[in-house]
Amino acid sequence: MNQIMNIIKDQTLGGERPLFGIRDTRLENITITDGESGIKFCRNLEADGCKFYGKYPWWHVDGSLITNCYFAVGSRSAIWYSDNMTMRDCIIDGPKFFREMNGLTLENVIINDADETFWGVKDLKIKNVKLHEGTYPFMHCDGIYVDGLESDSKYVFQYCRNVEVHNARIVTKDSFWECENVTVYDSTIDSEYIGWHSRNVRFVRCHIAGEQPLCYMDGITLEECTFDPACDRAFEDSRNINARIKGAITEIKNPISGSIIADTVGRVTYDQYAHGRDCMINGQSGK
Protein backbone atom coordinates (compact mmCIF):
# COMPACT_ATOMS: atom_id res chain seq x y z
CA MET A 1 0.00 0.00 0.00
CA ASN A 2 1.06 3.58 -0.58
CA GLN A 3 1.35 6.07 2.26
CA ILE A 4 -2.04 6.69 3.83
CA MET A 5 -2.86 10.40 4.01
CA ASN A 6 -6.28 10.47 5.66
CA ILE A 7 -7.93 8.63 8.56
CA ILE A 8 -11.66 8.21 9.07
CA LYS A 9 -12.55 6.48 12.32
CA ASP A 10 -15.32 5.71 14.80
CA GLN A 11 -18.21 6.61 12.51
CA THR A 12 -21.48 5.00 11.45
CA LEU A 13 -22.47 5.75 7.87
CA GLY A 14 -25.49 4.84 5.75
CA GLY A 15 -27.45 5.78 2.68
CA GLU A 16 -26.14 5.80 -0.87
CA ARG A 17 -22.38 5.98 -1.55
CA PRO A 18 -21.27 7.68 1.69
CA LEU A 19 -17.57 7.16 0.89
CA PHE A 20 -17.69 7.43 -2.88
CA GLY A 21 -14.38 8.23 -4.59
CA ILE A 22 -12.12 8.49 -1.51
CA ARG A 23 -8.39 7.88 -1.96
CA ASP A 24 -5.34 7.33 0.20
CA THR A 25 -7.49 6.72 3.26
CA ARG A 26 -7.49 4.44 6.30
CA LEU A 27 -10.84 3.45 7.79
CA GLU A 28 -10.86 2.46 11.46
CA ASN A 29 -13.91 1.16 13.33
CA ILE A 30 -16.33 2.30 10.62
CA THR A 31 -19.82 0.80 10.29
CA ILE A 32 -21.68 0.92 6.96
CA THR A 33 -25.28 0.31 8.01
CA ASP A 34 -27.61 0.26 5.01
CA GLY A 35 -28.09 1.59 1.51
CA GLU A 36 -25.86 0.59 -1.39
CA SER A 37 -22.30 1.08 -2.61
CA GLY A 38 -20.80 2.46 0.58
CA ILE A 39 -17.28 2.44 -0.92
CA LYS A 40 -17.07 2.76 -4.70
CA PHE A 41 -14.59 4.00 -7.29
CA CYS A 42 -11.83 4.43 -4.73
CA ARG A 43 -8.07 3.94 -4.65
CA ASN A 44 -5.49 2.96 -2.03
CA LEU A 45 -7.63 2.15 1.02
CA GLU A 46 -7.10 0.38 4.33
CA ALA A 47 -9.95 -0.83 6.53
CA ASP A 48 -9.45 -2.25 10.02
CA GLY A 49 -12.09 -3.27 12.53
CA CYS A 50 -14.94 -2.20 10.26
CA LYS A 51 -18.43 -3.68 9.82
CA PHE A 52 -20.44 -3.78 6.62
CA TYR A 53 -24.19 -4.39 6.53
CA GLY A 54 -25.45 -2.72 3.34
CA LYS A 55 -25.33 -4.12 -0.20
CA TYR A 56 -22.39 -3.79 -2.58
CA PRO A 57 -20.13 -1.99 -0.09
CA TRP A 58 -16.77 -2.34 -1.90
CA TRP A 59 -16.82 -2.00 -5.70
CA HIS A 60 -14.24 -0.69 -8.18
CA VAL A 61 -11.47 -0.13 -5.63
CA ASP A 62 -7.84 -0.36 -6.75
CA GLY A 63 -5.45 -1.20 -3.93
CA SER A 64 -7.02 -2.44 -0.66
CA LEU A 65 -5.92 -3.84 2.68
CA ILE A 66 -8.85 -5.16 4.74
CA THR A 67 -8.14 -6.55 8.23
CA ASN A 68 -10.28 -7.66 11.19
CA CYS A 69 -13.50 -6.73 9.42
CA TYR A 70 -16.97 -8.25 9.36
CA PHE A 71 -19.31 -8.50 6.37
CA ALA A 72 -22.90 -9.31 7.37
CA VAL A 73 -25.48 -11.39 5.50
CA GLY A 74 -26.95 -8.24 3.96
CA SER A 75 -23.62 -7.26 2.40
CA ARG A 76 -24.21 -9.59 -0.55
CA SER A 77 -22.10 -9.12 -3.67
CA ALA A 78 -19.86 -7.00 -1.51
CA ILE A 79 -16.50 -6.96 -3.28
CA TRP A 80 -16.48 -6.85 -7.09
CA TYR A 81 -14.23 -5.33 -9.77
CA SER A 82 -11.52 -4.48 -7.21
CA ASP A 83 -7.88 -5.22 -8.04
CA ASN A 84 -4.78 -5.61 -5.86
CA MET A 85 -6.54 -6.52 -2.62
CA THR A 86 -5.31 -8.23 0.56
CA MET A 87 -7.78 -9.42 3.19
CA ARG A 88 -6.73 -10.90 6.55
CA ASP A 89 -8.51 -12.10 9.70
CA CYS A 90 -12.04 -11.38 8.49
CA ILE A 91 -15.44 -13.06 8.72
CA ILE A 92 -17.86 -12.99 5.80
CA ASP A 93 -21.52 -14.02 6.18
CA GLY A 94 -22.75 -12.68 2.83
CA PRO A 95 -22.83 -14.56 -0.51
CA LYS A 96 -21.40 -13.77 -3.94
CA PHE A 97 -18.12 -12.16 -2.90
CA PHE A 98 -15.06 -11.47 -5.06
CA ARG A 99 -16.03 -11.16 -8.73
CA GLU A 100 -14.02 -10.08 -11.76
CA MET A 101 -10.86 -9.20 -9.85
CA ASN A 102 -7.12 -9.31 -10.47
CA GLY A 103 -4.63 -9.77 -7.63
CA LEU A 104 -6.49 -11.03 -4.55
CA THR A 105 -4.89 -12.46 -1.39
CA LEU A 106 -6.84 -13.92 1.55
CA GLU A 107 -5.37 -15.15 4.85
CA ASN A 108 -7.27 -16.44 7.88
CA VAL A 109 -10.68 -15.67 6.40
CA ILE A 110 -13.96 -17.49 7.14
CA ILE A 111 -16.69 -17.34 4.51
CA ASN A 112 -19.94 -18.73 5.91
CA ASP A 113 -21.96 -18.48 2.70
CA ALA A 114 -19.62 -19.20 -0.19
CA ASP A 115 -22.38 -19.22 -2.78
CA GLU A 116 -21.01 -18.07 -6.14
CA THR A 117 -17.87 -16.67 -4.53
CA PHE A 118 -14.56 -16.15 -6.38
CA TRP A 119 -15.87 -15.85 -9.93
CA GLY A 120 -13.57 -14.67 -12.67
CA VAL A 121 -10.65 -13.88 -10.36
CA LYS A 122 -7.09 -13.84 -11.72
CA ASP A 123 -4.02 -14.24 -9.50
CA LEU A 124 -5.80 -15.54 -6.38
CA LYS A 125 -3.77 -16.54 -3.30
CA ILE A 126 -5.44 -18.23 -0.32
CA LYS A 127 -3.96 -19.22 3.05
CA ASN A 128 -5.97 -20.78 5.88
CA VAL A 129 -9.41 -20.07 4.46
CA LYS A 130 -12.68 -21.80 5.37
CA LEU A 131 -15.64 -21.99 2.99
CA HIS A 132 -19.07 -23.09 4.14
CA GLU A 133 -22.31 -23.73 2.25
CA GLY A 134 -23.19 -22.37 -1.17
CA THR A 135 -22.39 -23.54 -4.68
CA TYR A 136 -19.80 -22.98 -7.39
CA PRO A 137 -16.95 -21.13 -5.66
CA PHE A 138 -13.90 -20.50 -7.91
CA MET A 139 -15.73 -20.47 -11.24
CA HIS A 140 -13.58 -19.36 -14.19
CA CYS A 141 -10.55 -18.40 -12.06
CA ASP A 142 -7.04 -18.33 -13.51
CA GLY A 143 -3.88 -18.52 -11.42
CA ILE A 144 -4.89 -19.91 -8.00
CA TYR A 145 -2.48 -20.76 -5.18
CA VAL A 146 -3.93 -22.37 -2.04
CA ASP A 147 -2.16 -23.29 1.19
CA GLY A 148 -4.75 -24.38 3.73
CA LEU A 149 -8.40 -24.66 2.69
CA GLU A 150 -11.40 -26.25 4.36
CA SER A 151 -14.53 -26.34 2.25
CA ASP A 152 -17.93 -28.01 2.35
CA SER A 153 -19.33 -25.90 -0.49
CA LYS A 154 -20.72 -27.69 -3.54
CA TYR A 155 -19.14 -27.77 -7.00
CA VAL A 156 -15.78 -26.21 -6.15
CA PHE A 157 -13.14 -25.37 -8.78
CA GLN A 158 -15.00 -25.44 -12.08
CA TYR A 159 -13.61 -24.07 -15.34
CA CYS A 160 -10.34 -23.06 -13.62
CA ARG A 161 -6.84 -22.83 -15.07
CA ASN A 162 -3.39 -22.92 -13.50
CA VAL A 163 -4.27 -24.09 -9.99
CA GLU A 164 -1.93 -25.21 -7.19
CA VAL A 165 -3.45 -26.50 -3.94
CA HIS A 166 -1.70 -27.56 -0.71
CA ASN A 167 -3.14 -28.87 2.56
CA ALA A 168 -6.82 -28.78 1.67
CA ARG A 169 -9.80 -30.73 2.93
CA ILE A 170 -12.63 -30.51 0.44
CA VAL A 171 -15.98 -32.23 0.97
CA THR A 172 -18.28 -31.41 -1.90
CA LYS A 173 -20.49 -32.62 -4.73
CA ASP A 174 -18.36 -32.29 -7.88
CA SER A 175 -14.89 -30.74 -7.98
CA PHE A 176 -12.22 -29.71 -10.49
CA TRP A 177 -14.52 -29.98 -13.52
CA GLU A 178 -13.42 -28.64 -16.91
CA CYS A 179 -10.11 -27.48 -15.40
CA GLU A 180 -6.65 -27.25 -16.95
CA ASN A 181 -3.21 -27.39 -15.35
CA VAL A 182 -4.02 -28.35 -11.76
CA THR A 183 -1.70 -29.75 -9.05
CA VAL A 184 -2.98 -30.78 -5.62
CA TYR A 185 -0.62 -31.75 -2.78
CA ASP A 186 -1.26 -33.38 0.61
CA SER A 187 -5.02 -32.97 0.52
CA THR A 188 -8.25 -34.91 0.98
CA ILE A 189 -10.80 -34.61 -1.80
CA ASP A 190 -14.14 -36.18 -0.86
CA SER A 191 -16.26 -35.55 -3.92
CA GLU A 192 -18.43 -37.29 -6.45
CA TYR A 193 -17.05 -37.12 -9.97
CA ILE A 194 -13.67 -35.54 -9.24
CA GLY A 195 -11.91 -33.99 -12.19
CA TRP A 196 -14.30 -34.85 -14.99
CA HIS A 197 -13.45 -33.39 -18.42
CA SER A 198 -10.21 -31.79 -17.12
CA ARG A 199 -6.73 -31.72 -18.62
CA ASN A 200 -3.27 -31.96 -17.09
CA VAL A 201 -4.23 -32.69 -13.49
CA ARG A 202 -1.81 -34.03 -10.86
CA PHE A 203 -2.50 -35.28 -7.32
CA VAL A 204 0.43 -35.84 -4.96
CA ARG A 205 0.02 -37.63 -1.60
CA CYS A 206 -3.73 -37.08 -1.67
CA HIS A 207 -6.66 -39.15 -0.48
CA ILE A 208 -9.45 -39.56 -3.00
CA ALA A 209 -13.01 -40.35 -1.90
CA GLY A 210 -16.38 -40.35 -3.65
CA GLU A 211 -18.06 -42.07 -6.57
CA GLN A 212 -16.63 -42.37 -10.07
CA PRO A 213 -13.50 -40.20 -9.78
CA LEU A 214 -11.14 -39.03 -12.52
CA CYS A 215 -13.22 -39.73 -15.62
CA TYR A 216 -13.21 -38.23 -19.13
CA MET A 217 -9.81 -36.66 -18.50
CA ASP A 218 -6.75 -36.12 -20.68
CA GLY A 219 -3.52 -36.19 -18.69
CA ILE A 220 -3.96 -37.38 -15.10
CA THR A 221 -1.01 -38.08 -12.78
CA LEU A 222 -1.27 -39.64 -9.30
CA GLU A 223 1.75 -39.92 -7.01
CA GLU A 224 1.47 -41.83 -3.72
CA CYS A 225 -2.28 -41.31 -3.54
CA THR A 226 -4.82 -43.43 -1.68
CA PHE A 227 -8.42 -44.25 -2.56
CA ASP A 228 -11.42 -44.72 -0.32
CA PRO A 229 -12.98 -48.20 -0.72
CA ALA A 230 -16.22 -46.61 -1.94
CA CYS A 231 -14.53 -45.16 -5.04
CA ASP A 232 -15.90 -47.04 -8.04
CA ARG A 233 -15.72 -46.82 -11.84
CA ALA A 234 -12.53 -44.78 -11.67
CA PHE A 235 -10.76 -43.45 -14.78
CA GLU A 236 -13.62 -44.09 -17.22
CA ASP A 237 -12.75 -42.75 -20.69
CA SER A 238 -9.59 -41.08 -19.34
CA ARG A 239 -6.43 -41.06 -21.43
CA ASN A 240 -2.75 -40.41 -20.77
CA ILE A 241 -2.96 -41.75 -17.21
CA ASN A 242 0.12 -42.07 -15.01
CA ALA A 243 -1.15 -43.35 -11.67
CA ARG A 244 0.85 -44.73 -8.74
CA ILE A 245 -1.63 -45.70 -6.03
CA LYS A 246 -0.81 -46.71 -2.45
CA GLY A 247 -3.03 -49.48 -1.14
CA ALA A 248 -6.12 -50.65 -2.95
CA ILE A 249 -8.41 -49.27 -5.60
CA THR A 250 -11.85 -50.88 -5.71
CA GLU A 251 -12.80 -50.55 -9.39
CA ILE A 252 -11.29 -49.30 -12.63
CA LYS A 253 -13.59 -48.91 -15.61
CA ASN A 254 -12.89 -48.29 -19.30
CA PRO A 255 -9.55 -46.41 -19.07
CA ILE A 256 -8.26 -45.54 -22.55
CA SER A 257 -4.48 -45.19 -22.27
CA GLY A 258 -1.57 -44.85 -19.88
CA SER A 259 -0.59 -46.79 -16.78
CA ILE A 260 -2.24 -47.56 -13.44
CA ILE A 261 -0.23 -49.30 -10.72
CA ALA A 262 -1.65 -50.05 -7.27
CA ASP A 263 -0.80 -52.37 -4.39
CA THR A 264 -4.18 -54.05 -4.94
CA VAL A 265 -6.63 -53.69 -7.82
CA GLY A 266 -10.21 -54.91 -7.40
CA ARG A 267 -12.44 -55.04 -10.46
CA VAL A 268 -11.26 -53.99 -13.91
CA THR A 269 -14.19 -53.54 -16.30
CA TYR A 270 -14.17 -52.96 -20.03
CA ASP A 271 -17.70 -52.91 -21.37
CA GLN A 272 -19.21 -52.40 -24.81
CA TYR A 273 -18.86 -48.61 -24.43
CA ALA A 274 -15.08 -48.63 -23.91
CA HIS A 275 -13.26 -46.26 -26.27
CA GLY A 276 -9.88 -47.98 -25.96
CA ARG A 277 -8.01 -50.72 -24.15
CA ASP A 278 -4.41 -49.55 -24.25
CA CYS A 279 -4.05 -48.74 -20.54
CA MET A 280 -1.57 -50.88 -18.59
CA ILE A 281 -2.97 -51.92 -15.21
CA ASN A 282 -0.38 -53.44 -12.90
CA GLY A 283 1.61 -54.41 -15.96
CA GLN A 284 -1.29 -55.94 -17.89
CA SER A 285 -2.97 -54.44 -20.92
CA GLY A 286 -6.73 -54.29 -21.21
CA LYS A 287 -6.58 -55.83 -24.67
Confidence of residue 57 (pLDDT cuts 50, 70, 90): very high
pLDDT in tens, 114-129: 999 999 999 999 999 9
Examine the pLDDT at 283 and tell me if it is beyond 90.
no
Pick the residue with more confidence: 3 or 210? 210
Confirm whether 35 is domain-assigned.
Answer: no
Q: Give the 3-state secondary structure of residue 231.
A: coil
Task: Give the Cα-Cα-Cα angle 51, 54, 57 (nearest 5 degrees).
Answer: 75
The full DSSP string for 42-60 is EEEEEEES-EE-SBS-EEE
Q: Lowest-pLDDT range, 3-7, 130-134, 186-190?
A: 3-7
Confidence of residue 232 (pLDDT cuts 50, 70, 90): very high
Confidence of residue 36 (pLDDT cuts 50, 70, 90): confident
Quote the percentage of the chain above a pLDDT of 90: 92
Examine the pLDDT at 65 and tell me if it is beyond 60.
yes
Confirm whether 25 is domain-assigned.
Answer: no
Confirm whether 107 is domain-assigned.
Answer: yes
272-285 burial, b at 16+ Cβ within 10 Å, e below that, comes to eebeeeebebeeee
Give the other-Cβ count within 10 Å of 83's Cβ. Answer: 16
Average pLDDT over residues 230-234: 95
Confirm whether 23 is domain-assigned.
Answer: no
Q: What are the C-alpha distances in Å from 219 to residues 17, 216, 238, 284, 285? A: 49, 10, 8, 20, 18
pLDDT in tens, 66-98: 999 999 999 989 999 999 999 999 999 999 999
Average pLDDT over residues 248-277: 94
Of 57, 48, 50, give the one whose Cα is nearest residue 17. Answer: 57
- The pLDDT, as a whole number, for residue 286 is 57
Q: Which domain holds residue 277?
A: 55-285
- The pLDDT, as a whole number, for residue 2 is 52
Q: Name beta bridge partners: 102.
A: 122
Residue 142 contacts residue 161 (beta carbons within 8 Å): yes
Examine the pLDDT at 3 and tell me if it is beyond 90.
no
Confirm whether 104 is domain-assigned.
Answer: yes
Count of structural domains within the chain: 1
- The pLDDT, as a whole number, for residue 276 is 87
Q: Model pTM?
A: 0.94
